[in-house]
Structure 1
Amino acid sequence: MSQPATKVIIAGCGIAGPVLAVFLLKQGYTPIIYERLESFTETGIGLCLQVNGLRILSKIPGLVESIEGGHLERMLFHSVLPEDEGLLADFTFPSQPKEKVGMALGVRRPAFHRRLIDMAIAHGIQVVWGHQVTGLEQHSDSVTVTFQNGKTDTASFVVGCDGIHSDTRACLFGKEPADFTGLVQIGGVSPKPSGYPFEKLTMMNVFGNGEHFITYSVDDTHNSWAVTLREPEAKETWRAMDQESQEDFKQHSPFASWGVGAGELIRNATKIVKYGLYDRPQLKSWHVGRVVLLGDAAHPTSPHLGQGANQAFEDIAYLTNLLEKYNPQAQQPSTDLLEKIFTEYEETRIPRTAALVAEARKQGDLRVASGVDACKQRNQIYHEMWGDEEVVKKRYAALLDHNEK
């Protein structure tokens, strides 16, 4: 008689949870996803899937081809600082056929998130809404999860994919406040302007004095955008600003008059959101016993490298490759075997993600440099960083290269 499939509880049905569930299912596990929210909600604005993340998503047949987005072809850097105005760099990504994994794909986050959930459900994976993790009781061969509504469930092991405000992380390591980076963003989605620089599917950075604007294509007709500022803390609710505040920002903020299409995007936005940017202290370990963390639950980051979701996908590749290596039949693993797998996973992933979190915060601070001299220095850095094609290729390869094994 065959043994029942090994059950795995995934806490969190955000960007990472559905992808992890499909990877586990294909290895022979039975994953079930529990999500604290009562139902799917359209939160977030845009998301940039980079080559390292796309490479992993492409292992799910048909997924990348089904994602609606803008295959980014070009990266531009402009300064609107009056004392140092103009184009800083213009870089064209190596061309690849769109049916293959390209360098970067801009997507609307809500639509991409919905696509991942639908994909998981289509694979037969159960998604249970309205279940917030409040307790974890570990046994010799299983973990029992308690939810806020009083219900419980038991599985062989648990993976916490429940984001920067992870309840799984709090259960393992105690509650801790998220670290406000000192920066806030105001962002939205707008119809794409005509003419330069939007003839191609473009990502563009625009620098002012203490201000940074980024925009990229999310399809052939629309762009996502965000302004980064150093301001008092704004909670990460992801709710739209009230209508009066949105109209005031569109008409009267200094960014509404910026050139190269930035002001036009702001003036024509259909919904504007304001939110703080956070990360968390680095953990020395991401697991306790049969419970392990992944993605933003383990290493939340500010968005200035565009690597948040992409690093979660790298986590998934590493973790599931190790499960396949050490437990190829997807049998009920012993605690000692899980300890070996989770420890090896951490030994590779913690140094890489810690370096990227630190670099993202550094880049955020650099982009909002204040004062004419500091802004000129910043502009020169980005000119040198992105103005030489060979330097860009080497830097990009170093950032995105990884060994999933």
Structure 2
Amino acid sequence: MKEGSHEKKYWCICKECQGQGIKRRRISKKVRLSYQLAYCEFEKTKGESEIPNRPVGEVYSCNICNGSGLIKSDTPPKVEKEKFPHVSIIGGGIGGVALAVACFHRGIPFTLYERDKNFNARSQGYGLTLQQASRAIEGFGIFSLKDGVVSTKHIVHNSEGEVIGEWGMRRWVSSDSNLTSKRSNVHIARQSLRSVLLQQLEGNESVKWGHQLVDFEEAENDNIILKFIVNGEIKYNKTNLLVGADGIRSSVRRLLFGDSVDSLRYLDCMVILGICSLSALEDIKSSLLDSATVFQTTNGQERIYIMPYSVDSVMWQLSFPISEEKAKNLSLQGPKVLKEEACRRTQWHSPIPQILEATTENQISGYPVYDRTLLNPALLKCSKQVTLLGDAAHPMSPFKGQGANQALLDALSLARGISKGCNSSNWRDVGIRKSVLSNYEEEMLSRSAIKVKDSASAAKFLHSKIILFKGDKPRGSFSKFKDDI
């Protein structure tokens, strides 16, 4: 991503692509005629032959906005209250804030509700890795991440420290070559990315802290009545579209489906997380701590994954199989016991023991790992004006690093869908579901389904002998050999 300046700037939709970031090339006359002839032949058979596919133009990135869907503006975007539905977003995590920003840039009226009293009320997770979303975040008006760290090498060790796999740009390119981040992962603290997003909404009265949703009701005239607890009092608000972006234990999902539809699914393992400052490791000299290397070590059961968290710290994630009851009990015992457990399980090669020992207890947490079975699209269709995004729609294990990426893609897809679907049709007559939600949910659920499945599979094979296969490729590539182990 390009480095940007710090001056105040605004963004509005690109008129060339109508904020979509992509365009379609026109169908050539030859292709149109060919389709017309094929369709005539189909009609002559009275439907007995195979219907020809209607041709569509090739999709390409808009050359005006370079695919972001946004262009610079000297003034804030105008809120189009008459054109667009009002969107109420429940949850101020990455996905919810991203949707608010995407709506803001596109002139879509919105209100973001977060139950926490303020930004720092509770931990919002540790580090995340932007993969597909490293380009998609430009659709939120973010063209640089000053706190982002690019990794260019990934190394896998066994517990004795032997390298059993290595890949990345520095694996194949000499160290003095001109490396770029085009095909690299960007690591950033979750709170840092959340802060960058919220800065674009700075001073916006549509961000409401301290609002806990307790109920909603779909009413007449395209309205939804929202019921909140605010400072111990009940308050009501109304909206046209309700979006649950409130995480794996989503209140919107529970209120929409009830508790019996699909419970959390335990994935037979837990994680212990920590953040360690590199300054606490001054006496440790290791090429693994160059702020551009991701490495993991495993014994075929326990597995630790260590990545850059910032230019002067790393984040580690230890995971291992354990019963759900024991995982819950261990996580409840607090950071001191979690650190002792992590250290006990990882008396491996340097610098792993030193990193864990140097991690302060206030930077350690742990939890059992859950996801849910894939959401049945028919369930969402039961509501005319309610939908979900991120972990509320498709929670997944952390082992493929896809949770935040998919939430960001969901948010951008939904905002673009509202901008397009409500701009070209009278959504009040045909309804938000037909104008926007059906298309959004089909794309969102289809895209995320493979990530949920792969993340669940990773929870198994990353804690098995499969991960010990030697080869310079990601460990998931070897899971197809599981029957040979």
Counterparts in 2 of 1:8-157, with a 5 A limit? 8-40=87-119, 41-61=121-141, 63-80=142-159, 86-93=162-169, 97=180, 103-122=184-203, 124=204, 126-138=206-218, 139-148=220-229, 149-157=233-241
Alpha-carbon distance, 1:216 to partner: 0.5
SS at match of 1:43: coil
Aligned partners of 1:6 and 1:300: how far apart in 2? 27
Matched, 1:178 2:178: no
Letter in 2 for 1:17: G
Alpha-carbon distance, 1:330 to partner: 9.8
| Residues 228-237 or 14-23, more deviating | 228-237
SS at match of 2:276: strand
When residues 39 and 281 of structure 1 are mapped into structure 2, their CA distance, relative to the original with a 3 A threshold, is same
Alpha-carbon distance, 1:272 to partner: 1.3
Aligned partners of 1:125 and 1:214: how far apart in 2? 40
SS at match of 1:210: coil
When residues 3 and 77 of structure 1 are mapped into structure 2, their CA distance, relative to the original with a 3 A threshold, is closer
1:279 counterpart residue number: 371
Aligned partners of 1:236 and 1:253: how far apart in 2? 17
SS at match of 1:147: strand
Deviation readout 1:312-334 (Å, 9 max, x if unpaired): 11112222222222223797644
Alpha-carbon distance, 1:3 to partner: 5.7
The percent identity for this pair of structures is 22
Aligned partners of 1:227 and 1:145: how far apart in 2? 40
When residues 11 and 19 of structure 1 are mapped into structure 2, their CA distance, relative to the original with a 3 A threshold, is same
Alpha-carbon distance, 1:213 to partner: 0.6
Aligned partners of 2:420 and 2:162: how far apart in 1? 52
Alpha-carbon distance, 1:208 to partner: 1.4
Alpha-carbon distance, 1:110 to partner: 2.9
Contact map agreement 1:75 1:93 (CA 8 A) in 2: no
| Residues 340-349 or 25-34, more deviating | 340-349
Letter in 2 for 1:175: D
Contact map agreement 2:213 2:227 (CA 8 A) in 1: yes
Alpha-carbon distance, 1:45 to partner: 4.4
Contact map agreement 2:81 2:109 (CA 8 A) in 1: no
Letter in 2 for 1:90: E
1:304 counterpart residue number: 399
Contact map agreement 1:79 1:207 (CA 8 A) in 2: yes
Aligned partners of 2:180 and 2:331: how far apart in 1? 34
Contact map agreement 2:291 2:312 (CA 8 A) in 1: no
2:419 counterpart residue number: 324
Q: What residue ranges of structure 1 are gaps of 5+ in the alignment? A: 370-374, 393-405
Aligned partners of 1:48 and 1:115: how far apart in 2? 14
When residues 86 and 333 of structure 1 are mapped into structure 2, their CA distance, relative to the original with a 3 A threshold, is farther
When residues 175 and 236 of structure 1 are mapped into structure 2, their CA distance, relative to the original with a 3 A threshold, is farther
SS at match of 1:385: coil
| Residues 260-269 or 158-167, more deviating | 260-269
Matched, 1:383 2:471: yes
Aligned partners of 1:172 and 1:268: how far apart in 2? 45
Superposed CA RMSD: 2.9
Contact map agreement 1:11 1:133 (CA 8 A) in 2: yes
Aligned partners of 2:413 and 2:199: how far apart in 1? 24
When residues 298 and 237 of structure 1 are mapped into structure 2, their CA distance, relative to the original with a 3 A threshold, is farther
Counterparts in 2 of 1:248-263, with a 5 A limit? 248-249=340-341, 252-255=343-346, 257-263=347-353
Counterparts in 2 of 1:210-249, with a 5 A limit? 210-233=301-324, 234-235=327-328, 241-243=334-336, 245=337, 248-249=340-341
Contact map agreement 2:300 2:468 (CA 8 A) in 1: no
Aligned partners of 1:248 and 1:237: how far apart in 2? 11
SS at match of 2:288: coil
2:299 counterpart residue number: 208
Counterparts in 2 of 1:338-353, with a 5 A limit? 338-353=433-448
Deviation readout 1:333-367 (Å, 9 max, x if unpaired): 44534334211112222122122111101111111
Aligned partners of 2:163 and 2:358: how far apart in 1? 24
Letter in 2 for 1:276: P
SS at match of 1:105: strand
Alpha-carbon distance, 1:56 to partner: 1.6
Letter in 2 for 1:283: L
Q: What residue ranges of structure 2 are gaps of 5+ in the alignment? A: 1-79, 171-177, 479-485
Q: How many residues align?
A: 372
SS at match of 1:169: helix
Alpha-carbon distance, 1:116 to partner: 2.8
Contact map agreement 2:215 2:228 (CA 8 A) in 1: yes
When residues 26 and 334 of structure 1 are mapped into structure 2, their CA distance, relative to the original with a 3 A threshold, is farther
Alpha-carbon distance, 1:64 to partner: 4.6
Contact map agreement 1:184 1:228 (CA 8 A) in 2: yes
SS at match of 1:33: strand
Aligned partners of 1:259 and 1:172: how far apart in 2? 49
Aligned partners of 2:330 and 2:425: how far apart in 1? 39
Letter in 2 for 1:385: K
Q: TM-score, normalised by structure 2?
A: 0.70
When residues 171 and 97 of structure 1 are mapped into structure 2, their CA distance, relative to the original with a 3 A threshold, is same
Aligned partners of 2:329 and 2:434: how far apart in 1? 34
2:45 counterpart residue number: none
User: Relative contact order (alpha carbons < 8 A, sep ≥ 6): 1 or 2 greater?
Assistant: 1
